Chain A
Amino acid sequence: MANLKTDTKKTKAQSMGLHSEVLTGKTQQKFFNPDEAENFFYWGTHDVDFNKRTELDVKDMDCKQANEKIDRLMSEGYGTIVIKNPQGKHSLGVGILNKLNLIFEGSLGYFGVGSIDGPIVRVNGRVGWSCAENMMAGKVVIEKNAGSCFGAAIRGGDLICKGSVGARTGIDQKGGSIIVGGDAGAFTGFMMQRGRIVILGDVGINLGDSMYDGTIYVGGKIGSFGSDAVEAPMTKNDIEWLIRKLKVAEIGNNFDVSKMTKIVAGKKLWNYDALEPTEKKGAI
């Protein structure tokens, strides 16, 4: 068993039993120690100044060169970076873990701005498959259309497409909000686990198929419901949240959100409280 060192309880959280132990010894588990907060370092981040602005033409760069250049500019303190001529290149602007104003003057290919944690991104064009995959925080605004798997597995932040998006939007979504001004393709919200998806237009077949949790709002026609996706009544909280979120998303002015259809998981396909078969055997 690990050695436990119990410090004097100093904070409200600690007094409630949270973060009261610092584990040492064999265990790999570590809790956040507030005493070490001053020394906390988020690897790969930079302190940037939003007023420090520059432009980067990536026409003759591959994605690795462009991303390295963006990282170098952030390390020099640039907080507003305008990317010229992205020309549909893949994987641009990925892995940015700090605040940043990032503007693309053109369209991105696949996996654009994936795994980001904090930047505000505007794409004055279109994006290909899997835009903002695994996004953790920040805001991404796409001015035109997006390909399939838009916002795959995002964990947080606001991901907005003013045009239409392809199939499997929000697949495996684990948090955050995806907001679409146009239509969405088949399997929207496939296996989503947390978070919210808002589609102002129509959606294709199998909406919310096998979703575990989360909420989907649709303004237009629905091709068909997927397995275990069910309609739920709109509440006052839903309406207030939608009005506030659409304002943030810069779309849907005068859109009557009260007439949207709300879809949630029927929760017939799974049960978090159920024991796995091997555990049941052990319990018996």
Chain B
Amino acid sequence: MCGIAGLIHRGKSSNVGEELQNMLQALKHRGPDSTGYALYANNDGQNFILRFKVGENVGEGSTSVNEDESVYDERKKLVDKKLSELGATIVKEDRLTPYSYRYEMKYDNDLMEFSKALESIESVEILSIGKSLELIKDLGDATAVSERYGLNKVQGTHGIGHARMATESGVDIKSAHPFWGYPFADVSVVHNGQLTNYWNNRRVLENKGMRFMSECDSELIAVFLAEKMRNGATLEEGMKESLTGLDGVFTYFVATKDSLGMAKDTMAAKPLVLYESDELVAMGSEEIAIRSILPQEIDTYDPFDGEVKVWQI
């Protein structure tokens, strides 16, 4: 069934890493397979943050094929070579797990060509590119992933996250949420539900040059919105189009460098509880996610069917 959570501080920063960890941990019973975070951190905004993986986590109930770690090093060398060819300059690099990296880099050209070139290397997947977006996903619950990647000290303005119960595809990082809004910097999506016109939409979007990295139906939302924005739609316009363009049941969140949005299908078949104030918007699949960061009595509500909302920082 999956659990999703999101929050946005308006006019200030906070420890969004720890807050989102608490919210997602409260939703662990909805999705124990993997956890993902899209955190919008207080980076200096000068360089791109590139998060990518060169292999899969093969432990913790993974459905992925075991690989020798030496292949990860080979792929990393190929990535560095490709970055050099593309004209990107690596400012800082961190190896977070044997299979995942975080680079800070300078790059001034087209992100779509950049992404295509990098992902032409076998088993290399870009998790995110952005100047504030830090997208992390891995197998395990919210606390395990947060500890593995040191997320509980990340200061920022907003974030979205996902606790996944794998139903439509395998237990692996590539199928875990959030999904990056390729090829847009700083765009991420999480989803709870099932999309029934995935393959039809995928064929159409691939013919338009968009890329899919997994067979997870939720990835369609990120690609669908990215394609709309590529053709000039605003985020909110793209989200409203998704209510009819996507078939199935869904509640999803989308975040950009300065905004957070939610959309709910026209049958309101998937849950969402929302808290909204002048300082903070917090939402999740269940109220206990919000209570994990706001234990005092607050007013919350369920958005109605077909609702789309977007908040700015």
Bound Cα distance A195, B297 (Å): 33
Asked if B56 CB lies within 8 Å of chain A CBs, one says no
Number of A positions contacting B (CB below 8 A): 30
Asked if B288 CB lies within 8 Å of chain A CBs, one says yes
**Contact (A186, B267) CB under 8 Å given A87-B295, A109-B288, A128-B286:** yes
Binds B, one of A162-170, A229-237, A238-246, A247-255: A162-170
Neighbouring B residues of A98 by C-beta, 8 Å: none
Asked if A80 CB lies within 8 Å of chain B CBs, one says no
Neighbouring B residues of A262 by C-beta, 8 Å: none
Known: A87-B291, A89-B288. 18 other contacts (CB 8 A): A87-B295, A88-B288, A90-B286, A106-B297, A109-B286, A126-B299, A126-B301, A128-B271, A128-B273, A146-B302, A148-B268, A166-B268, A166-B302, A167-B305, A186-B304, A186-B305, A186-B306, A204-B268
Bound Cα distance A88, B297 (Å): 10
Q: How large is the interface on B (under 10, 10 to 19, 20 to 34, 35 or more residues)?
A: 20 to 34
Taking CB as reference atom, which chain B residue is nearest A185?
B304
Interface residues in B258-293 by Cβ distance below 8 A to A read 266-269, 271, 273, 286-288, 290-291
Interface residues of A (CB under 8 A from B): 85, 87-90, 105-107, 109-110, 125-126, 128-129, 144-148, 163-164, 166-168, 183, 185-187, 204-205
CB atoms of B297 and A148 under 8 A apart? no
Q: How many A-B residue pairs have CB under 8 A?
A: 72
CB atoms of B304 and A204 under 8 A apart? yes
Neighbouring B residues of A164 by C-beta, 8 Å: 301
Taking CB as reference atom, which chain A residue is nearest B289?
A88
- Can you identify 25 A-B contacts, CB atoms within 8 angstroms? A88-B290, A88-B291, A89-B288, A90-B288, A109-B287, A110-B286, A125-B297, A126-B300, A126-B301, A128-B287, A145-B301, A147-B271, A147-B302, A166-B268, A166-B302, A167-B267, A167-B269, A183-B304, A185-B268, A185-B302, A185-B304, A186-B304, A204-B268, A204-B304, A205-B305
